[in-house]
Structure 1
Amino acid sequence: MPSECRCATPCGCGEAPSPAPAAARSSARRCGTSTSKANSSGAPEVGLFDKSRRVPLLALLGRAALRLLWATLRRPPLAPDDAARLASARPAVLVVWHEQTLLAAARLRALAEGRRLAILASHSNDGELVTRIAAPFGIEIVRGSASRGGSEGLRGLYRATRRGASPLLMPDGPRGPQHEVKPGAVVLAQMAAVPILPLHFAASRVWRLGSWDRMALPLPFSRVALRVGEPIDVPRRLGGDEIDSWRREVGRRLDELAGCEPPAAPGQPGRHAEADGHDDPGEPGARPGGSGTTLDRASLLFSPNLIRCRV
C-alpha cells in the first residue's frame, strides 16, 4: 500500500497527494517542486514590491522627500555660544531626544560642519532603510543592535569615535520610554574619553506622528532652530550607581536645554510645559535650571511646540 505523499499537489512521485497545506513548503523541497510563482520560462517571478526591492525603493523615496522638505525649511543661524560649543567639542557624543530625530536631520549641515557624524543602525529591514537614506549624506553607519544587549553597537560606536567620528544618539530610543535616558551614551563617553554634548532642536510648526515618542515632523516653510548645551565630561572610572546618576544628569541637561524645569518638590510650586504647547515660555534671556544657557527669543517660541516636559 503506497504511503501517503506529503506534497500539497500531485508531483509524480507515485504516492497519493495529501491535502495538508502546512507541509507544502517542506514537501516541495523533497519532491523537487517550488511554491513560488514562476513565469512562462520557469524562473521565479519577482514583483515590484518584493522585499529585496522594497527597501531600496523606500530609501530612494525617503531621500527625495527629505531633500524636498529641507529645501523649504528656514534655518536660523546658531547663537555665538552654541556655535562655539559645537566647534569645541570635537569629537563628542551628541545626544538628542528621539522625538527630534527628523528635526536633527534638517540641521545636518550645522551638526556636520567640521566633524564626521556616526549613527547606529540595526541589522533589520528598518536599519537597512536608515542606512540607505543616511549614507549618501556622508554619515558613517555603524550596524548593530541598541536593544538586544547593545554590546555590538557600543563597540562599533567606540571604534568610530576613536577614528574621530561624533556619534549622534537618541538616548531614550529605540522604543522608549520617552525621555528616559539609557546608559549607552554615558558608557560610550566614558570608554572613548569624549564629552557628551546635549542638543535641542525646535521648529515653529510641527506635525506629531502617532509613534511612541510622538515624533515631530517639521512642516514645510517652518523654521528649525538648534541649541547646544554645555559639554558633559564623564569621569573615566564609574561604578554602577555612578553610571545611573550620570544617566539622569544627561536627561536633566536635555530638559533644561529645552526650557523645562525639573519636577518641583512636594508642596512647592513648579511650571511644566503643557503637551498642547500653550504654556508661557518665559522671558527672553532666562536661564532655566541654572544651566548657564541664554535662551534666545526664537528658541523660546519654538520650544513649546516641540518638547513635552515630564510631570
Structure 2
Amino acid sequence: MKLHKRILEKTWAQSLVSFLIARYLRFAHATSRWEVRGWDIIQSQYDAEQPIIVCFWHARMIMATFGWQNTVQLSMLSTPHRDGKIAAMTYNRLGIKTIWGSTKKGGAEAARAMIRALKAGEVIAITPDGPKGPRQRMQLSAINIARMSGAKLVPVTAASSSSKILGTWDRLQIPTPFSRGVISIAPPIDVPRKASAEDYEALRHSFEERLNTMTQDLDAEFGLQTPEPAPLPTALPAERPVDGEHAP
C-alpha cells in the first residue's frame, strides 16, 4: 500500500482531511450564489410527517447538500471504508448525520438503520448509483427502502456554473468559489408496498430517466455538457429485496 494511503487509514488523518474539506466547502458556499428550487416540497412532506428519501447522483452529492435547510435533519448513507469515513466526517461537520452501511455489503443492516432513521423523523439521502456505479444508473436499493418504510422518493439534482470534475467513476463535481449554482427538487414519487418485479423495474427505469433529464436540463441552463451515464452492463447487478417483515 502506498504511503499516503496508509496515512489516510489513520483516524487522525481522516479527521484532518475532513476538516480541510469542510472548511473549503463552507468558503465555496459563502462566496457563491445558490438558488434552491422546490424546497417547499421537502418542507411540506416533513411537516406532514411523511417519510421521504432524497435521491441524487453520486457525482452531485456535494452540490445537492449545499442548499439543505437546517429546519430538516438529513442523514446520509456512507460506507465504512476509508473514503466513506472521510466523506462522513466532512458531512458531520456540516450538520449532516451518518448512517453506516452499504447497499451492496450488509444491505439488510443498512436497510434497518435507514428505516429507523425514517421512523425517527429524519430525512435520509441515498445516491442510487452508489457506492461504485455504474454512473447515473439507478439501483433498486432506494426503492426497496421506500417500499418497506412507506417513504416517498424525492429526485434532487444540482449544477454549478463552475466546478472541478474529478476523473473518478462518478465524475464527482466539486463546486468552486465565486460561482452560481442551483439545487432542483422535484415532486415526490410513491412506491407501492406490493407490486410485481416488472413494476418495480419500470419504476426504477422511470426514476433513472427522470433524474438524468433533470440533471441534463439544469446543466443546459449553465451551458454545460452533462457526463453521459455509464454504459449498461449486460444486466444490472441483482439486488435481493430485503424482507420488510424483518425491518424494525
Measured against the shorter chain, the TM-score band is 0.7 to 0.9
Q: Which residue of 1 aligns with 2:67?
A: 107
Residues 73 and 221, structure 1, Cα contact 8 Å, conserved in 2: yes
Highest RCO, 1 vs 2 (Cα 8 Å, sep ≥ 6): 2
- Residues 87 and 299 (structure 1), Cα distance of their counterparts in 2 relative to 1, 3 Å cut: farther
Q: Secondary structure at the match of 1:89?
A: helix
The residue identity in structure 1 corresponding to 2:65 is A
Q: 1:104 to 1:123 in 2, by over 3 A?
A: same
* RMSD, aligned α-carbons: 2.4
| Aligned position for 1:75 | 34
Please state if 1:193 is matched with 2:150. yes
How far apart are residue 227 of structure 1 and its match? 1.2
Letter aligned with residue 60 of structure 1: F
Q: TM-score, normalised by structure 2?
A: 0.80
Aligned to 1:35: none
Structure 2 distance, partners of 1:75, 1:132, is: 23
Name the residue aligned to 2:45: 89
Stretch of structure 1 that moved more, 236-245 or 117-126: 236-245
Larger Rg: 1
Query: Is 2:240 the counterpart of 1:308?
Result: no
- What amino acid does structure 1 have at the position aligned with 2:167? G
In structure 1, what residue type is equivalent to 2:158? Answer: F
Which residue of the partner structure matches residue 10 of structure 2? 51
1:99–1:216 Cα contact (<8 Å) kept: yes
> Could you say which residue in structure 1 is the equivalent of 2:236?
none
Structure 2 CA distance, aligned partners of 1:180 and 1:142? 22
Residues 175-207 of structure 1 show CA distances to partners (whole Å, capped at 9, x for unaligned) of 111111010111111111121000120111222
In structure 2, stretches of 5+ residues that fail to align are 1-6, 232-248
By how many angstroms is 1:133 displaced?
Answer: 1.4
Tell me the residue number matched to 1:146: 103
Tell me the equivalent position of 1:63: 22
Q: 1:174 aligns with which of 105, 122, 131?
A: 131
SS in structure 1 at match of 2:113: helix
The answer for the alignment partner of 1:98 in structure 2 is 58
Unaligned runs of 5+ in 1: 1-47, 261-297
Task: For 1:188 and 1:56, locate their aligned partners in 2 and report how far apart those are by CA, in whole Å.
Answer: 30
Q: Which amino acid in structure 2 is aligned with residue 64 of structure 1?
A: R
Percent of aligned pairs sharing the same letter? 27
Instruction: Call closer, same or farther: CA 1:51–1:197 in 2, change over 3 Å.
Output: same
- Structure 2 vs 1, CA of residues 194 and 306 (structure 1 numbering), >3 Å: closer, same or farther? farther
Q: How many residue pairs end up in the alignment? A: 221
TM-score (norm: length of structure 1): 0.65
Residues in 2 aligned to 1:168 and 1:121: alpha-carbon distance in whole angstroms: 10
2:8 and 2:110 map into 1 onto residues whose CA distance is: 30
Deviations 1:263-291 (A, max 9, x none): xxxxxxxxxxxxxxxxxxxxxxxxxxxxx
Q: Tell me how far apart the structure 2 counterparts of residues 52 and 194 of structure 1 sit (CA, whole Å).
A: 35
When residues 249 and 149 of structure 1 are mapped into structure 2, their CA distance, relative to the original with a 3 A threshold, is farther
**In the alignment, is the contact (CA less than 8 A) between 2:19 and 2:93 conserved in 1?**
no
1:253 counterpart SS class:
helix
Q: Which has the higher strand share?
A: 2
In structure 2, C-alpha distance between the alignment counterparts of 1:186 and 1:250, rounded to whole Å: 10
| Contact 2:161/2:180 (8 A) holds in 1 | yes
